[in-house]
Each structure stands twice: as C-alpha cells, then as structure tokens.
Amino acid sequence: MTQSTGKIHEIVKWPDPVLAKRGEDVTVFDAKLKKLVEEMFESMYAAQGIGLAAPQIGLSQRITVIDCSFKKNPDEKVVLINPEIVDRKGKQVEEEGCLSLPEIRDKVSRAAWVRVRAQDINGDQIEMEGEELLARAMQHEIDHLDGILFIDRLSRLKRDLVIRKIKKLQKNGEW
C-alpha cells in the first residue's frame, strides 16, 4: 500500500466567486500539474466525492478529476484537462449533490450520454464517452469549469429555496 504524500485541499463553498467564473485553459503540462491532479484525487476522496473540479479548491483552471468507483477500480479514474462536451444524447433526471454545496441535494436533468474531448495529464488530445453516472459526473464537473453550479440548473423557485437555506446556515455559523 503506497502512502499518499499529496496535500488535501480545502473545498471552496458557494458563494465563493471562483465558483462563478470560467476556469483558465491549462497550457503547461509538467510535474507540477501531475502533483496537482494527484492532490485533487486525494482531496476528492477525503471529501467523499466522485468528482472534483479545480475551481472547487480555489484554482480557476480547467482541470477535473472523476472516479465513479470511489477508489474501487483504478481504471475508472478520469482526468480531464480543458474538456469540452462535443456530443450528447438522451436525458436522465437524478438527484445530485456537490462538495461546494454540502447538505444540498436536488434532481437535475442531464444528457444520458456524452462524448467529451479533452487533454490528458501529458497534454495529449483524448476523446471519451460516458453514460449514466459517468455522463452526469462529466457534465457536472465541466459545468464547474464554466462557472455553473448544479443549483443554477434548478427552477428559480427551487434555487431561491436553496439559497435561503444556505443564508440561514451562514447566519447560524454552520456554513
């Protein structure tokens, strides 16, 4: 068993402004980037998540990590750098949560299948497809890179209720 030496980053919570802006494209693919990606996986696991985008740790960069197996299958670890959704099909409506919105969950409509074009950790162009949970995770994380949170995809009424709940938690010092 290898000991992790990665730093665990604190997860940024809504309404931090870094969550509301488009991340910068990554142009340098070096050892520092590899270390950051490793730290992002460690931070995601520590927070009990299956996806994490760089803005969620306060970095406005287009990097996301996903592991729908949550450490059970190393082959399912996904790193997407500068990703774009190039095709989508179908529809799924499932409950989502977000590490930047702890305790908040709601049903969100997403494509059931997506194809994503991105770069890997070495800067090489890749394309990958995902369906069901992986498709949902890819769309959720790419939204983060575009400054969109899942609550932005809720009806105005539901979103207002969520914001009111968060403001109450903030007032009570619980957020």
In a domain, 2, yes or no: no
- pLDDT value of position 101: 97
In a domain, 6, yes or no: no
Give the pairing of strands 101-110 and 92-98: antiparallel
The pLDDT tens digits for 56-104 are 999 999 999 999 999 999 999 999 999 999 999 999 999 999 999 998 9
Copy the structure tokens of residue 149.
């949170």
In a domain, 9, yes or no: no
- Among residues 39, 129, 141, 174, the one annotated as catalytic is 141
CATH of the domain at 23: 3.90.45.10
In a domain, 21, yes or no: yes
The pLDDT tens digits for 97-129 are 999 999 899 999 999 999 999 999 999 999 999
Question: Binding residue per annotation — 98?
Answer: yes
Please confirm, yes or no, whether 141 is among the known catalytic residues.
yes
Give me the mean pLDDT over the 164-169 stretch: 95
In a domain, 53, yes or no: yes
Question: Binding residue per annotation — 144?
Answer: yes
Cα separation, 20 vs 151, whole angstroms = 12
Domain with 53, as residue range(s), is 17-171
Q: What pTM was computed for the model? A: 0.94
Buried b (16+ CB within 10 A) or exposed e, 118-155: bbeeeeeebeeebeeebbbbbbbbbbbbebbbbbebbe
Domains in the chain: how many in total? Answer: 1
The three-state (H, E, C) secondary structure of 15-53, written as one string: CCHHHHCCCECCCCCCHHHHHHHHHHHHHHHHCCCCEEE
